[in-house]
Amino acid sequence: MAKATKITNDIRRLRFDANEMTQADLAKAVGVTRQTIIAIEQGRYSPSLEVAFLIARAFGTPLDAVFQYPDG
């Protein structure tokens, strides 16, 4: 069972909304491997702030539209 982080994200939905952008395309835009994008999407890896901002930039959205941190 994967060790989930508290950080949630909407990357899958944002990729779908961005003309069904592939994980490989997003990985290339951000400069990480496709496996890292998969791990972030599945909540198995919390990216650095820099990668988080790069992901948000790739979708043209603010950071909190991509990543959320639950209250409490």
Partner 1 sequence: MNFHEKSNMAMLAIMIVVYGIYFGQALLSIVSAGVPPAEALAATNALMVVTVGAVTVLAIIAHIIIAVLAPSEADDARDERDKLMEMRGDQRGGVVMTIFALGALLIAMLDMPAYLIANTVLAGLVASEIVKGVSKMIGYRRGV
- Contact letters for partner 1, residues 2-41 (x by CB under 8 A): xxxx-------------------------xxxxxx--x--
d(CA 14, CA 20): 8
9: enclosing H helix or E strand: strand 8-9
- Contact letters for partner 1, residues 41-70 (x by CB under 8 A): -xxxx-xx--x-------------------
- Minimum Å gap between C-beta 33 and partner 1 is 5
Would you tell me which residues interact with partner 1 (CB under 8 A)?
1-5, 31-36, 39, 42-45, 47-48, 51
